[in-house]
Amino acid sequence: MRRSHKTIISCALTGSVHTPSMSPGLPVTADEMIEQGLAAVSAGAAILHVHARDPVDGRPASDPEVYRPFVTALARDTDAVINITTGGAMTMTVEQRLEAALVFEPEVASLNMGSINFNFAGAAEREREWRYDWEKPYVLGSADSIFVNTFAQIETSLLRLGKERGTRFEFECYDVGHLYNLAHVVNKGLAEPPFFIQAVFGILGGIGPDVDNLTHMVSIADKLFGDDYYLSAFGAGRHQMTFATASALLGGNVRVGLEDSLYLTQGRLAESNAEQVAKVARLLDELGHDIATPDDARQMLELKGSDSIKV
């Protein structure tokens, strides 16, 4: 693993698996995405990982025109690295999942490295008021769905975004096998170092939220990639700050954001993404780590530059 004296904070502003009614702090509209993105960067985030939602009913959206207002504003008004999802939602086709990234050609795009059961139906077990009628069936339906990421889909993304457009990837690895999947496409010449590996813990269907699993993932990644990768890691839900701290202690980078956890502390909802960024920045400072600026992240990950995004 490559280590740096600077730690990259990524912020996942909003996602396709958490529903708006679960937290009033979760951004849905373009204006909310802009406001929270600006605040997250001010709090220390170098990378902004973005999904989009339909501003009318909050559904996960793939239309680049839904992305355009906030991607344009965040690229114009911050120096943050924009990281556009290619994961989208389990209900989207591959073409829909790639659509926005192909239009905007960001510096970074997320790429899920294998198919998994991605079960978040437990979020519907507690009584709550649902803002939209689609939300509860969507959440419950995850128990009977597979998040499909085939090798053909992965290779298509690497070719169309990476080889043709120069976008680099946040390789999202939800289990140890996903590291081997990454090694497979690397051996085929479809990805070049340095690799930005985002290890994900605590999703039901993926590797469990035990810190021992993080050290195991690092051990396997070291065997497969040596010094050709940077580690980042996050834990879903209540495990968020535990894994941020553990990743930093191992010399890795961190990801927080309301896509991954709606809470700041046990029982207290975060009011915004910036609250979580500020908290992890304080933790890193206490550990003696310097926070990477967006330009630091660009240099570390060998990105193509902020002027390359098509907005």
Q: Mean per-residue pLDDT for 63-83? A: 98
Domain 6-308 is of which CATH architecture? Alpha-Beta Barrel (3.20)
Q: Mean per-residue pLDDT for 13-21? A: 79
**CB within 8 A of 116, min separation 6: which ones?**
146, 147, 149, 174, 175, 203, 205, 206
Q: Mean per-residue pLDDT for 208-233? A: 98
Q: Mean per-residue pLDDT for 54-69? A: 95
> What is the torsional sign of CA 9, 14, 17, 23?
positive
Cα–Cα distance between 247 and 242 in angstroms, integer?
Answer: 9
Q: For residue 161, name the pLDDT band (cuts at 50, 70, 90).
A: very high
The pLDDT tens digits for 184-217 are 999 999 999 999 999 999 999 999 999 999 999 9
Query: Residue 22: is its pLDDT beyond 80?
Result: no
The pLDDT tens digits for 235-282 are 999 999 999 999 999 999 999 999 999 999 998 999 999 999 999 999
pLDDT at residue 21, as a whole number? 74
**Percent of the chain at pLDDT above 90?**
90
pLDDT at residue 252, as a whole number? 98
Query: Residue 18: is its pLDDT beyond 80?
Result: no
Judge contact between 9 and 292, C-beta under 8 A: yes
Q: What angle do CA 219, 208, 96 make, to 5 degrees?
A: 95
pLDDT at residue 153, as a whole number? 96
**Percent of the chain at pLDDT above 70?**
99
Mean pLDDT across the chain: 96
**CB within 8 A of 240, min separation 6: which ones?**
234, 256, 260, 261, 263, 276
- Tell how far CA 28 is from the center of its chain: 16
Judge contact between 213 and 180, C-beta under 8 A: no
Query: Residue 166: is its pLDDT beyond 80?
Result: yes
pLDDT at residue 128, as a whole number? 79
Indicate the pTM of the whole model. Answer: 0.97
The pLDDT tens digits for 96-137 are 999 999 999 999 999 999 999 999 998 888 777 888 899 999
pLDDT at residue 149, as a whole number? 97
